[in-house]
Structure 1
């Protein structure tokens, strides 16, 4: 005894099925995914023996097969394209309504033989159109005669409209994705061009810095020789020259750090690095009446960083603190482990940073010093981030500033 399949159309209300199809097809998705889902939904609700979805190709002025279900490869090879206006699909598109037809009614004997060989006895074409534009056609096949009744046509017309909207929406979705891809590609191209320009600038800066440093070394050397033999009256002028040479050397050093890309990380004792950096300023601490208190974790693990670069940052921070506390104060340096990082906290009792300056603190050429260049913090942040760490500066609640550095353990 043959058991007939009962479609959901026979057990559920048409409104319920239409709602289900609408909900399934209204999610943003690529066109191919929408077409595959459409074929699955038609199979679910109608149990057809074969499904084909054709999309309109403007360039070739033909309907092109895109998705199929339940049909043999041999059959599909013969129905890859449908010229506009040909066959029952063409009639359905021209009328703008679903068209059901028995294969025995086909006027083309060759086509009739092809469909009968596949076991198809009746067919249905649902035109996919939106705002007067042809999007494609949905073809459904059955192995039973006159399987698609007239009482279903209005309902199938509504389904065709839902599928058409979904296809149009999917095309818009793909266009948006393509626009975003092109935008991202353009931004990447611009970024690469900028990197190329910066690399060229970096190379030039490195060469100029080297030549400039050589000149400063020569000038400084002669100035120091003159200082030993000059009169007390001339000494103050030579001191100014040497001070300016020192300032220029610092600028050159910062420029070199700004364009230097190479990082050589290794296991580094951060506590020892802090001790070495603080030791360099012992005389200045005494001269300016600054008290330094260190709370260093004795069990602190080694960080995996470039010690030369991290020491450069520590020295820069200490120099900055000395500049803002000319009349004395306190510095607190702490270290501890925080998850997979070593944390360095350097607090001072100097003036707070104005709120409007905090938000642009790490921008290049922004400085609060009368004779500053505004590269120090930019370089410090770049060094820390280049070593896979993090650097932040915040004001204390009442007075002073907190510098926080996090450095990776591995």
Structure 2
């Protein structure tokens, strides 16, 4: 029979409050004390093994049974160790996934590229996250075709490393991220300024970073294994021993490159740490892509706004130059227009002087001279007005009110000509930002042309409409219409079909409307009438 001693305490550290399992088999006096029933603990005990060896004796069956039990205990112990390792790995993965969620949520929340990059790099370098010493991100600028260093996180030297890590140790990872989100302005440290200076043309296929960019997987660089010339180029910026580069790729499009190392601690960059870095990159890439696109769109909008502002600032100069150019091109036409009335004036003036003291003198000669002088004065005034810079007194007006008040000035003229007026106003009463005097000038110019084409008893319609972004003034006559061969010329300077017309009314009206940001259209049917539609941008005030 097996010689088993009386009950004794377990000798395993941390388990001495329990009795040895084998010793209690022979002695029940210690039943009030709990018994050690974890066989794996017993398997590590020298006393347990000695008792087992002595208790089984020398028979083959006993030895086989003892060997079997010992093997089973070893296997159970090994499995238990494997389960502990698996549990630790699982806990680590769960922790990594939780950190990735914090990072991606923060990147989505910020929408700002510089903060998004800082958040990701903080995750890569934080001891509470992935724990690399230094990390940086390069992004592809497709517009200018180069790889641009964007941001980096990491200490400048050992002293800075110790100080920074001690400061961050007091903060949770969530606090570190929140500090980035809430900071009024992000600082720029030594490593970031170095990375920002790196700009590599995409055409430089031999560059080691570009080779890593186009690689299908991560690339590992070790100083001792790299081309000395390349190493020398890197050392001009910062020292290193080894680093890993992970491409940032979204649906086959290369967005950039993430690099990381452990320069200060010399901790080996393991496959597990690289896997974690790639997982983080793959997790963040979709939101990073959206953030990059948003940043690019914002930059384009800012560029367009700057161009638009520049155009607005120079608009007066451009318009003035355009007007002067028009005047220059029309100099010959002006000379012709002036020649006819001047010849007329000269002829009648010479005859009046010759006959002034004779019965042949006719007052009609003087009347003709005055009439032609008036015509010249009108042409001169309109040319000067066109050539001067526009100075508008812009205010917000109801287009309905402007039209109604302007038509009051024309009541007497319409009555004398026997023209019937029909008016229809827009129900929404849109407001426009215009110079009131110039608005009336445009309206009167178009209506005067309409009245010249109409006969007594005909009707004139004036209507206002509200459109998307514009208010329209329609002037519809029932006159003779504009012949097809003349329609391309009606806005040409000095073109007129009227005996006493200057040919400047419509060109000047078109210029005034365009200076207000609007435009003019017309439709005409021979012997049926013409419709002029004038469009002004709707203002935001009522």
The alignment's TM-score, normalised by the length of structure 2, stands at 0.40
If each structure's strand is expressed as a fraction of its own residues, which one has the higher value? Answer: 1
Q: Which has the larger radius of gyration?
A: 2
* TM-score after normalising by structure 1: 0.50
